[in-house]
Amino acid sequence: MSKPERRPYRWPSHLKKQASKLWYGCDYNPDQWPEEVWDEDIRLMNQAGVNVVALAVFSWSRIEPSEGVFDFDWLDRIIAKLGKAGIGVNLASATASPPAWLTQSHPEILWKDERGDTVWPGARQHWRPTSPVFRTYALKLCKAMAEHYKDNPYVVAWHVGNEYGCHNRFDYSDDAMRAFQRWCKHRYGTIDAVNEAWGTSFWAQRLNDFSQILPPRYIGEGNFQNPGRLLDFERFSSDALKEFFMAERDTLAKITPDIPLTTNFMVSSEGFIMDYDDWGPQVDFVSNDHYFMPGESHLDELTYSSGLVDSIARRKPWWLMEHSTSAVNWRPINFRKEPGQLVRDALAHLSLGADAICYFQWRQSQSGAEKFHSAMVPHAGEDSQVFRDVCELGNDLVGFSDAGLAGTVLDKSPVAVVLDYESEWASKHSSVPSKNVSHGTEPLDWYRALLDLGIRADVVPVRSDWDTYPLVVLPSLYLLSRENSERLHDYVAKGGKVIVTYLSGISDAHDRIWLGGYPGSIRDLLGIKIEEFAPMDQHVEGGMDHLDLTNGTVAHDWADVIASISDDTRILARYQADSWTGMDGIPALTLHDWKQGKAAYLGCRLGREGLKKTLPELLKALKVEGLQEADEARGDVLRVERVSEDGRNRFVFLFNRSHHQVQVDREGSVLAASLAWEDTDAKTATLDVNGVLVEKVVTRRH
């Protein structure tokens, strides 16, 4: 399908009174509180340096209390108060949670699960994106909102919907069925093309007509869905929500063409909900919600996700729409943030290209499902550590703005780790060689192993410009379309260096296997041929559960049986195993010089530890400039840089990744230090656990 045109990048303009060029704020739900609290809210917002709030995200039942009856008075009052206090409004389309009167009169807007059971009201997002009835009501609300607020000077942006697909990602209703049929018709043109793509000669699934296409509804336990149809249903479901978003967006934009629009994505290392890289072109500026993972991966996972957001935004400033000051409410165990992490996390997002730092939410709810979710003003009130940290952060942001950080961009890394939403969808299928592996976990392992060696990689979607990097990692990129196979050939032919791993290039864009030995479409450039897979598992008595490699690392879960290699392929590591396994001596890591470039192949899952041990030698062999001194001693500190367009101003962010104090060399003038201090010699600084130091380096003209 042709590439969608990207909407021109537009960033919300600041109010006249606002000095800071970075946005700082939160979701604000004044409708959950009596009006007496509002003035207190604004006083505290001013104290904290808040200059923007997302408003009315879940306010449909307040704004339209019964069909066609609109009440904007309360919203007008709070917007006026906020605006006068110098706080801009990122106004929601307010459509995220339909009111009871609507679901009562039109239960046909409720979505259905795969067994056809109705998903009832009681929470939020209980609507189906393909319902023409719901669309009519939602667009009527968008129109009313836009008409009412079109001349309001305090509305700086539209917040369209909210986290599309968080709860209503897959709908199996008849509306969805009809829309899926239309989607297939649009994508394939003829039913024969669908039959071909889905391989329907298998198990008598041949379709005579588009009307025979069903969503992948319940098929009973222990049975297996057609993988082509499942993959297309994932694509369709992302598209159905995207189209719904676009309808809302266009309704608003028609009336308020000058107000930039966004919707909050949910990009994280686990977030394969939507194909966000496909959504990216549809917003004026990208925004993201990110919630930390408790434990050891906290900072790494956060910067990985933000790096991906920055790539989805094609390196234009983006908006952190939500994160938490401390605990969330929706994990089984909701860890609080450790001392220093509130400030550190926000600065980490900032370092990776965010020009807006916002939280869910302003004031911690007293009732409702999220009453245990942290906020900027906690239940304890303003006399609390959380609120003091919130104020410290607000102060830091003003300093960064004064120093000219806004509008600078993330410095490009020499390494791209490639991510592909569709590869994760396809490799997660129920009928695969091993459920222990899929694309999704691999990019983060690579990212972390590289960080352990002091290398911050960019996380780059497969549609983007990975072929402009000196080194590319394709980690378990299961689907490799013809187009991407060709791109990879061109890249290596022209001198590119690539590391490809197991489970890559198995299938084409329809999840049809590339034949002739794996990975069928790129075998020539890798100089290998895989004949079988050798998955492993810890829980099968007497079965193979690991493989030792000659480089001292250990593989788990997966190994390829590389049955032959071309004459000019070098073997960098082999398996060492008992002969009964059939794996002894089989190549595990290979390197092939191909045309001007080099292509390495790793045929097993080494995990972060194994990758960390393997990478120094591998990087030397690949001869990538600037990466050959990779070294574990550098892994304690994460260094991220943002640069101004003319390259003269650099903002260096140094984060302590370890669980002990670290010392760093000073690079410029200190803009902020949290759990960090300059040493007396002025040449170094010390970072405590969770500490961060931000410096500005100005390059003088010669």
Residues known to be catalytic = 163, 322
Enumerate residues 6+ apart whose C-beta is below 8 A from 293: 269, 301, 302
Give yes or no for a contact between 695 and 671, defined as CB atoms under 8 angstroms apart: yes
Q: What is the rounded distance in angstroms from the CA atom of residue 152 to the CA atom of residue 149? A: 5
The set of long-range contacts for 68-76, using a CB threshold of 8 Å and a minimum separation of 24, is: 70/144, 70/148, 72/148, 74/30, 74/31, 74/35
Q: How far is the CB of 124 from ligand GLA (least distance, A)?
A: 8
Nearest to ligand GLA of 283, 471 (CB atom): 283
What end-to-end distance do the CA atoms of the chain give, in Å? Answer: 49
Query: How many residues bind ligand GLA, per CB under 6 A?
Result: 9
**Do β-strands 547-549 and 497-501 pair in parallel, antiparallel, or remain unpaired?**
unpaired
Nearest to ligand GLA of 370, 392 (CB atom): 370
**Do β-strands 88-92 and 52-55 pair in parallel, antiparallel, or remain unpaired?**
parallel
Nearest to ligand GLA of 322, 452 (CB atom): 322
Nearest to ligand GLA of 330, 677 (CB atom): 330
Choice from 127, 198, 245, 360 touching ligand GLA (CB under 6 A): 360
Nearest to ligand GLA of 370, 609 (CB atom): 370
Residue 405's SS3 state is coil
Q: How far is the CB of 321 from ligand GLA (least distance, A)?
A: 8
Nearest to ligand GLA of 305, 649 (CB atom): 305
Binding marks (x or -) toward ligand GLA, 272..311, rule CB under 6 A? -----------------x-x--------------------
Q: How far is the CB of 159 from ligand GLA (least distance, A)?
A: 10
Asked if 265 interacts with ligand GLA (CB under 6 A), we say no
**Strand boundaries in 197-297, DSSP class E:** 261-262, 264-265, 287-289
**Do β-strands 23-28 and 52-55 pair in parallel, antiparallel, or remain unpaired?**
parallel
Annotated ligand binding at 162? The verdict is yes
Q: How far is the CB of 57 from ligand GLA (least distance, A)?
A: 6
Q: How far is the CB of 614 from ligand GLA (least distance, A)?
A: 36
Choice from 95, 162, 173, 306 touching ligand GLA (CB under 6 A): 162
Annotated ligand binding at 124? The verdict is yes
Asked if 24 interacts with ligand GLA (CB under 6 A), we say no
Give yes or no for a contact between 139 and 99, defined as CB atoms under 8 angstroms apart: no
Binding marks (x or -) toward ligand GLA, 184..223, rule CB under 6 A? ----------------------------------------
Asked if 322 interacts with ligand GLA (CB under 6 A), we say yes
Annotated ligand binding at 195? The verdict is no
Give whole-number Cα distances, 43 to 46, 48, 156, 390, 568, in Å. 5, 9, 21, 14, 71
Binding marks (x or -) toward ligand GLA, 366..395, rule CB under 6 A? ----x--x----------------------
Nearest to ligand GLA of 329, 441 (CB atom): 329
- 617 φ, ψ to 5°? -65, -40
Nearest to ligand GLA of 327, 664 (CB atom): 327
Nearest to ligand GLA of 291, 502 (CB atom): 291
Nearest to ligand GLA of 223, 579 (CB atom): 223
Give yes or no for a contact between 347 and 673, defined as CB atoms under 8 angstroms apart: no
What dihedral do alpha carbons 206, 208, 209, 214 form, nearest 10°? Answer: -30
Radius of gyration of the chain (CA): 26
Closest C-alpha among 176, 318, 242, 282 to residue 642: 318
Nearest to ligand GLA of 373, 592 (CB atom): 373
**Do β-strands 261-262 and 264-265 pair in parallel, antiparallel, or remain unpaired?**
unpaired
State the helix-helix crossing angle for 607-622 and 442-452, rounded to 10 degrees. 70
Q: What is the rounded distance in angstroms from the CA atom of residue 212 to the CA atom of residue 264? A: 35
Q: How far is the CB of 123 from ligand GLA (least distance, A)?
A: 10
Q: How far is the CB of 200 from ligand GLA (least distance, A)?
A: 16
**Do β-strands 415-419 and 458-461 pair in parallel, antiparallel, or remain unpaired?**
parallel
Give yes or no for a contact between 555 and 562, defined as CB atoms under 8 angstroms apart: no
Closest C-alpha among 701, 698, 702 to residue 644: 698
Asked if 163 interacts with ligand GLA (CB under 6 A), we say yes
Instruction: Concatenate the DSSP letters of all residues of 433-471 into one string.
Output: S-TT--GGGHHHHHHHHHHHTT--PEEEETTS-GGGSSE
Nearest to ligand GLA of 162, 507 (CB atom): 162
Q: Is the peptide bond before 366 cis (omega within 30 degrees of 0)?
A: no
- Dig out the tokens for 305 from the structure: 């996700």
Asked if 328 interacts with ligand GLA (CB under 6 A), we say yes
Q: How far is the CB of 96 from ligand GLA (least distance, A)?
A: 8
Give whole-number Cα distances, 35 to 40, 42, 48, 366, 478, in Å. 10, 12, 20, 15, 54
Enumerate residues 6+ apart whose C-beta is below 8 A from 350: 22, 320, 357, 397, 400, 405, 653
With left for phi above 0 and alpha for psi between -120 and 50, is residue 94 left, alpha or beta? Answer: left
Q: How far is the CB of 289 from ligand GLA (least distance, A)?
A: 4
Closest C-alpha among 292, 290, 295 to residue 353: 290
Q: How far is the CB of 166 from ligand GLA (least distance, A)?
A: 7
Q: How far is the CB of 690 from ligand GLA (least distance, A)?
A: 21
Q: How far is the CB of 330 from ligand GLA (least distance, A)?
A: 6
What dihedral do alpha carbons 455, 459, 465, 469 form, nearest 10°? Answer: 10
Q: What is the rounded distance in angstroms from the CA atom of residue 136 to the CA atom of residue 190? A: 30
Q: What is the rounded distance in angstroms from the CA atom of residue 657 to the CA atom of residue 408? A: 24
Give yes or no for a contact between 684 and 677, defined as CB atoms under 8 angstroms apart: no
Residue 642's SS3 state is strand
- Which positions make up the binding site for substrate? 124, 162, 330
- Which positions make up the binding site? 124, 162, 330
The residues of the shown chain that bind ligand GLA, judged by CB under 6 A, are 162-163, 289, 291, 322, 328, 360, 370, 373
